[in-house]
């Protein structure tokens, strides 16, 4: 386990010979006394004893940011796009005009329905007067009344269809998509424009079904987006009841806070970290870990001497860095090595408070 950097016996003998003879390595004597007088004093160092720390083990999956409240506006009638008074990213209020379609055919239908209604009203008034004077039968009156009701319904329908040529925002939000241009001819069902609420975002991901058992609603998890990634705290709100039979995954959704929503965009991809079990790990203050040409090292104290030891690190969380390998329980680690501490140096360890 220990991969320390130290002097070998042969190296020590060679160093003594180079220093001026075998007698320099023997003692006691004057030369030995001088060597002792020149030996550096021990350095006081603050240390911690490595102890296992229990915690959750995280798995990560790809996730996408989406709006919690969005609306894809589709055409309900056939027509030609005559106006698009909004642009991408523009904020709109509820009821604002988004797209206007040509309404020639709908206008003609309205005029025809209005004329039919007017005729039905006149006919009903005439039959009603005759019925009151006993000059018309009950059946004639019922028929005139029925024709009037039908004409009114058709007229209301025609006016409603005419209103469909003006597409308005269903709520206050932001334009996130436009799918037609002025002059385009559209049919019923054609996507026209999309509106979202940009301050109400969520993250959606699909996790393995085994992981879903470890996830709970209301639990806080991490979502990372960007390069280098920026991490956000999100809250699990939805966990699908069933598993996808093809992918064997479960869909989950986590809400983004309004303050963090301003830093994200719908459609943005990232990584969602979710708990997948429990594990025991070692944690150290980040100051204890030295980075030398990409290699991670710590000073381990043994017999009042500090030795460099390679370690493999994980994530930094809550001010502590995870040690994946290279240390064992009970080892003593220097947490503030500083620039004066060298490999093999004599130290006076003091347990950190």
DSSP string across 236-248: EEEE-SS--TTT-
> What residue has token string 């102890």?
51
User: What is the CATH architecture of 58-68+197-277?
Assistant: Beta Barrel (2.40)
**Can you give the pTM of this predicted structure?**
0.56
Q: Which CATH class is domain 71-196?
A: mainly beta
Q: Do domains 37-55+281-351 and 58-68+197-277 have the same CATH topology?
A: no
Other beta carbons within 10 angstroms of residue 337's beta carbon come to 23
pLDDT of res. 76: 87
Q: Any idea what DSSP says for residue 4? A: B
Domain segments of the chain as ranges: 1-36, 37-55+281-351, 58-68+197-277, 71-196
pLDDT of res. 4: 46
pLDDT (tens digit per residue) in 245-272: 999 999 999 999 999 999 999 999 999 9
Identify whether the C-beta of residue 238 lies closer than 8 Å to the C-beta of residue 223.
no
157 vs 109: CA distance, rounded Å: 10
254 vs 313: CA distance, rounded Å: 29
CATH fold of 37-55+281-351, please?
2.40.420
Give, to the nearest 10 degrees, the angle between helix 104-132 and helix 138-163: 160
pLDDT (tens digit per residue) in 331-350: 999 999 988 899 999 999 99
Identify whether the C-beta of residue 170 lies closer than 8 Å to the C-beta of residue 82.
no
85 vs 52: CA distance, rounded Å: 62
pLDDT of res. 30: 37
Among 254, 234, 239, 253, which residue's Cα sits nearest to residue 209?
A: 239
Which regions in the chain score pLDDT beneath 50? Answer: 1-39
């Amino acid at each position: 386990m220990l991969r320390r950097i130290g002097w070998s016996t042969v190296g020590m003998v060679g160093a003594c010979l180079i220093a001026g003879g075998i007698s320099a390595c023997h003692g006691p004597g004057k030369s030995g006394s001088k060597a002792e007088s020149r030996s550096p004093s021990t350095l006081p160092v603050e240390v911690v004893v490595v102890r296992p720390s229990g915690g959750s083990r995280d798995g990560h999956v790809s996730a996408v940011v989406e709006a919690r409240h969005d609306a894809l506006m589709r055409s309900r009638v056939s027509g030609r796009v005559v106006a698009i008074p909004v642009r991408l990213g523009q904020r709109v209020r509820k009821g604002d005009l988004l797209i206007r379609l040509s309404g020639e055919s709908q206008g003609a239908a309205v005029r025809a329905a209005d004329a039919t209604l007017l005729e039905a009203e006149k006919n009903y008034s005439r039959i009603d007067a005759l019925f009151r004077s006993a000059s018309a039968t009950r059946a004639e009156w019922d028929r005139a009344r029925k024709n009037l009701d039908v004409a009114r319904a058709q007229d209301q329908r025609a006016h409603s269809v005419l209103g469909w040529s003006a597409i308005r925002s269903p709520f206050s939000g932001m334009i996130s998509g436009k799918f037609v241009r002025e002059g385009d001819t559209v049919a019923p069902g054609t996507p026209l424009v999309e509106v979202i609420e940009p301050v109400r975002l969520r993250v959606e991901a699909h996790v393995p079904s085994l992981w879903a058992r470890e996830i709970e609603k209301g639990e806080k998890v991490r979502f990372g987006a960007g390069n280098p990634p920026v991490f956000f705290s999100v809250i699990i709100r939805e966990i699908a009841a069933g598993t996808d039979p093809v992918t064997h995954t479960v869909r989950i959704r986590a809400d983004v806070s309004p303050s963090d929503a301003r830093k994200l965009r719908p459609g943005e991809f990232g990584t969602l970290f979710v708990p997948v079990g429990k594990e025991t790990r070692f944690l150290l203050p980040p100051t204890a870990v030295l980075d030398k040409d990409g290699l991670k090292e710590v000073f381990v104290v043994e017999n009042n001497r500090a030795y460099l030891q390679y370690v493999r690190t994980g994530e930094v969380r809550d001010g502590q860095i995870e040690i994946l390998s290279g240390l064992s329980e009970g080892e003593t680690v220097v947490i503030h090595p500083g620039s004066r501490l060298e490999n093999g140096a004599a130290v006076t360890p003091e347990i950190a408070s």
